[in-house]
């Protein structure tokens, strides 16, 4: 089944510059696979970050990697194509999210959605040029409210193909945790920005109300003279 998102991805994939870069990256990963490849195994990495904010505020700022503004850490830039944007709705079970990169894309399906608590997704397509070494399979965002804020936990489940595992597993964990920290820090920054914006609005409303009240009092004072 095709749709507008599929058409946009097909057009982007035909861009000659992106195609050349994708071929070069794929060759590097294929070489690694030839030298160190083995039987695919499942791995999982989870990272948690505390955010001092209300649960509802953090929930509204759940972001995917491709939605985080600003520059990407050097390690991620060196290993993964640069993220561009996402298209789709992550607020309902069964929804498809297309994550667009400079040299490829990911397609995710929301498999579980629990308001203010959990979003789980499955990666149903990956085209990033790294598939001979690692393939993302699924992931989850989980929020745990605390007395002083919220613990946001991000989990990534992936398929790894490089051996020996005692050597590659720690390196993969470093990369995935860097990815997680970038996402969770971006969420915390978005929460802080939203809080500041709300505080400014409340402050302006309070100032406006006070000014109007002062004008009323002044007017009444003159009427008694």
The answer to whether position 187 is within a domain reads yes
pLDDT tens-digit map of 91-112: 999 999 999 999 899 999 999 9
Inter-residue contact 41 to 165 (CB < 8 Å): yes
Q: How far is CA 112 from the centre of its chain?
A: 17
> Quick check: is 159 in a domain?
yes
DSSP string, 147-183: TTEEEEEEEEEEEEEES-HHHHHHHHHHHHHHHHHHH
pLDDT of 13: 44
User: Looking at the domain assignment, is residue 25 inside a domain?
Assistant: yes
- How many domains is the chain partitioned into structurally? 1
Strands 149-162 and 134-146: antiparallel
Which residues, 6 or more positions from 5, have their beta carbon under 8 angstroms from its beta carbon? 87, 88, 96, 98
Show the low-confidence residues of the chain (pLDDT under 50).
1-2, 7-17, 216-225
CA-to-CA dists, residue 201 to 24, 190, 197, 209, angstroms: 50, 17, 6, 12
Q: In the chain, what's the furthest Cα-to-Cα distance? A: 95
| Rounded CA separation 159/37 (Å) | 12
Residue 223 lies in a domain: no
Does the residue 195 lie in any domain? yes
| 222 in any annotated domain | no
| Domain span including residue 147 | 4-217
On whether residue 30 sits in a domain, the answer given is yes
Q: What is the pLDDT of residue 202?
A: 59
CA-derived radius of gyration, the chain: 23
**Residue 224 is assigned to a structural domain of this protein:** no
CATH number of 184's domain: 3.30.530.20
Say how far apart CA 174 and CA 2 lie, in whole Å. 37
Q: Determine the Cα–Cα distance for residues 48 and 142; give it in Å rounded to an integer.
A: 9
Euclidean distance between CA atoms 222 and 225, whole angstroms: 5
Query: What's residue 223's pLDDT?
Result: 46
What's the CA gap between 99 and 188, in Å, rounded? Answer: 21
């Amino acid at each position: 089944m095709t749709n507008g998102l599929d058409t946009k991805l097909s057009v982007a994939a035909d861009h000659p510059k992106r195609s050349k870069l994708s071929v070069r990256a794929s060759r590097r990963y294929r070489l690694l696979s030839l030298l160190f490849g083995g039987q695919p195994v499942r791995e999982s990495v989870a990272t948690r970050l505390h955010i001092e904010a209300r649960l509802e505020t953090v929930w509204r700022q759940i972001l995917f990697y491709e939605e985080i503004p600003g520059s990407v850490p050097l390690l991620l830039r060196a290993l993964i194509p640069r993220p561009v944007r996402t298209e789709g709705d992550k607020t309902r079970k069964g929804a498809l999210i297309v994550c667009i990169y400079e040299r490829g894309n990911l397609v995710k399906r929301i498999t579980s959605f629990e308001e203010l608590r959990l979003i789980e997704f499955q990666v149903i397509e990956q085209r990033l040029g790294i598939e001979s070494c690692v393939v993302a399979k699924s992931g989850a965002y989980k929020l745990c409210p605390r007395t002083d804020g919220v613990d946001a936990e991000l989990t990534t489940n992936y398929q790894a193909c490089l051996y020996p595992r005692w050597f590659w597993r720690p390196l993969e964990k470093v990369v995935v945790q860097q990815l997680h920290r970038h996402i969770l820090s971006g969420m915390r920054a978005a929460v802080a920005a939203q809080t500041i914006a709300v505080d400014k609005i409340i402050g302006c409303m309070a100032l406006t109300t006070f000014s109007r009240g002062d004008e009323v009092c002044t007017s009444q004072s003159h009427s008694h003279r």
